[in-house]
A and B are shown apart, each in its own frame.
Chain A
Amino acid sequence: MIGYVRAYKPEMKFKDYEYYKGVYCSLCKQLGKRYGLLARMILSYDFTFFAVVRMAVRDGCPDVTASRCTFNPAKKCLSFEKNNEDLEYTADISILTMYYKLLDNIADSGFFKSLLCKILLPYAKSKFKKARAYQPEMAKMMAEQMARQTEIEKRTCSIDEAADPSARMLGELLKYNIECSDFDKMYRFGYLIGRWVYLIDAVDDVRDDIKKGGFNPLKEKYSQDNFKEYAKEMLTHTVNEAVISYNMLKFYKFDDIISNVLIYGTRSVMKKVLNEEDNK
């Protein structure tokens, strides 16, 4: 479930790419600062986008400074780290999400992957506790939604129902304490992005899940002949609804980055996932 929400570089302006990279680097540094070196490993494009959206609805100019990458000092990047609550929040949320993802992997995966996750668990748990202390409300909300997901997966459920906990989670995370009066619109935007991520992950995994007997809400649809077409329509519909709610939101900056992710990013990822489906 990682890396589906990303920008599409060929359609990006140079300056937007610099900003995007800057947020990416700053998030990495923030993770290192708050949770230690190893935590930087969980850096992902999805959370970069999350941070970009959070920063974008905030009025005013962020403090931008020039900095260098810790791992590759020859690489220069912009840094947004100065007084950036959004980056801190995103770092906390990344840790919380990773912990739940790890628990999920232990429950679902095969022997070796599950073993690896179990080895990582004590480390993840200590970081999780720290993140939970920073964001108690969101940690509680996420735990509730994860429990709902487990409960929903136990019975037969519709696609919408299966996607609901993840979608709701992102909606709540995105609107939490945001400096923006449009809570409902922000929630819907987050809900739809979360739904899209859940659905594309389901499309990506449906073949494996059928083989291994894991849960997947698309199993039934997969057995029908026009699955690929159906999947494309379902995903496109969700993206288009997200675009509609994007149009209603006011972004003070990074507008082009967000629309790049929404249009070109999602399309290229969809294309890739659906074509892989052909080659399998």
Chain B
Amino acid sequence: MRSPYEVLGVSPAASMDDIKCAYRDKARMYSDDQAKMDELNNAYDAIIMNNGNRNNNSTNNSNGNDTYYSTNASSEFGDIKATLDSGRIDDAEMLLDGIPYQRRSAEWYYLKGTIQHRRGWLESAVESFKRAHEMEPQNPEYDAAYKQLNRERKGNFNPNREEKSGCGDPCNICSTLLCADCCCECMGGDLIRCC
């Protein structure tokens, strides 16, 4: 059997970015060949897991507070989550789509839904969150996501003005004064004494 690095065609010393690049290139090449895809995915997962453990240990040694990799270790798709967190939606989706059907767990659907939601693909996002919720009804995260989207579908949301700063009107002196007052109060002074 070939080593995972051979499968991906990278050196064992390659950086994570290089490995991801190689994985993506190969995934594109083999997208029609399920057997090759499975081999590729397994190799990629093996490397990621190894790397995750390595990082986990090193961070634990240096400072025990960093939980980033340990939370990822409990997650099946830690690497994809990290990609998503860094805002690389396209990359995250490509990695996610490379996972074969039999390994698509509730978490997979949850991540898929998150990506679709970020893109504004709301119809598909609802379906994915629903699927994740059905597969693991006990999971509070999936439940909350599904319920939130359902609220958005049924009810009307109103714009929230209280939290907004800035002046509502170009020529409204009162609100400008109030803003100025707030600013003064932030700095320790006061412009309007009664508020």
Given contacts A195-B120, A238-B122, A240-B152, contact A253 B159 (CB under 8 A): no
Residues of chain B at interface, number, CB under 8 A: 28
CB distance from B114 to the nearest CB of A (A): 14
Which residue on chain A has the smallest CB distance to residue B164? A250
The stretch that binds B, out of A37-45, A112-120, A256-264, is A256-264
A-side interface mostly: helix
The answer on a CB contact under 8 Å between B121 and A160 is yes
Give residues of chain B (120-176) contacting chain A, Cβ–Cβ below 8 Å. 120-124, 126, 149, 152-161, 163-171
The answer on a CB contact under 8 Å between A160 and B122 is yes
Q: Any chain A CB within 8 A of the CB of B116? A: yes
Q: Any chain B CB within 8 A of the CB of A47? A: no
Chain A contacts for B155, CB-based, 8 A: 236, 240
Contact of A267 among B116, B119, B156, B160 (CB under 8 A): B156
Chain B contacts for A251, CB-based, 8 A: 164, 166
Which residue on chain B has the smallest CB distance to residue A251? B166
CB distance from A45 to the nearest CB of B (A): 19
Chain A contacts for B159, CB-based, 8 A: 243, 246-247, 259, 262-263
The answer on a CB contact under 8 Å between A263 and B156 is yes
- Please measure, in the bound complex, the distance between the C-alpha atom of A64 and the C-alpha atom of B170, giving whole angstroms: 10
Which residue on chain B has the smallest CB distance to residue A60? B170
Chain A contacts for B121, CB-based, 8 A: 158, 160-161, 164
The answer on a CB contact under 8 Å between B158 and A191 is no
Which residue on chain B has the smallest CB distance to residue A188? B120
Chain B contacts for A158, CB-based, 8 A: 121, 123-124
The answer on a CB contact under 8 Å between A252 and B154 is no
Q: Any chain B CB within 8 A of the CB of A192? A: yes
Chain A contacts for B123, CB-based, 8 A: 158-160, 234
Chain B contacts for A61, CB-based, 8 A: 170-171
Chain A contacts for B116, CB-based, 8 A: 160
Given contacts A250-B164, A250-B165, contact A244 B157 (CB under 8 A): yes
Chain B contacts for A82, CB-based, 8 A: none
Given contacts A262-B159, A263-B158, contact A237 B153 (CB under 8 A): yes
CB distance from A187 to the nearest CB of B (A): 9
Interface bits A167-200 vs B (CB < 8 Å: 1, else 0):
1000000000000000000001001100100000
- Please measure, in the bound complex, the distance between the C-alpha atom of A243 and the C-alpha atom of B157, giving whole angstroms: 7
Chain A contacts for B149, CB-based, 8 A: 237
Given contacts A234-B123, A241-B152, contact A253 B160 (CB under 8 A): no
- Please measure, in the bound complex, the distance between the C-alpha atom of A237 and the C-alpha atom of B157, giving whole angstroms: 9
CB distance from B170 to the nearest CB of A (A): 4
Given contacts A250-B166, A252-B167, contact A233 B122 (CB under 8 A): no
Contact of A237 among B122, B161, B165 (CB under 8 A): B122
Given contacts A164-B121, A192-B120, contact A255 B164 (CB under 8 A): yes
CB distance from A62 to the nearest CB of B (A): 7
Chain A contacts for B120, CB-based, 8 A: 160, 167, 188, 191-192, 195, 241
Which residue on chain B has the smallest CB distance to residue A184? B87
The answer on a CB contact under 8 Å between A252 and B163 is no
- Please measure, in the bound complex, the distance between the C-alpha atom of A243 and the C-alpha atom of B152, giving whole angstroms: 10
The answer on a CB contact under 8 Å between A160 and B124 is yes
Chain A contacts for B164, CB-based, 8 A: 247, 250-251, 255
Chain A contacts for B163, CB-based, 8 A: 247
- Please measure, in the bound complex, the distance between the C-alpha atom of A61 and the C-alpha atom of B172, giving whole angstroms: 10
Contact of B153 among A233, A252, A255, A259 (CB under 8 A): A233
- Sorted from nearest, which 3 A-B pairs have the closest CB atoms? A160-B121, A233-B153, A259-B159
Q: Identify 12 residue pairs between A and B in the complex whose beta-carbon atoms are under 8 Å apart, listed by A's number.
A: A62-B170, A64-B170, A158-B121, A236-B154, A237-B153, A239-B157, A241-B122, A244-B157, A250-B165, A255-B161, A256-B168, A262-B159
B contact set with A: CB distance below 8 Å: 116, 119-124, 126, 149, 152-161, 163-171
A contact set with B: CB distance below 8 Å: 15, 60-62, 64, 158-161, 164, 167, 188, 191-192, 195, 233-234, 236-241, 243-244, 246-247, 250-253, 255-256, 259, 262-263, 267
Q: A233-B154, A267-B156 are in contact. List 5 more A-B contacts (CB 8 A).
A: A160-B122, A195-B122, A237-B126, A251-B166, A255-B161
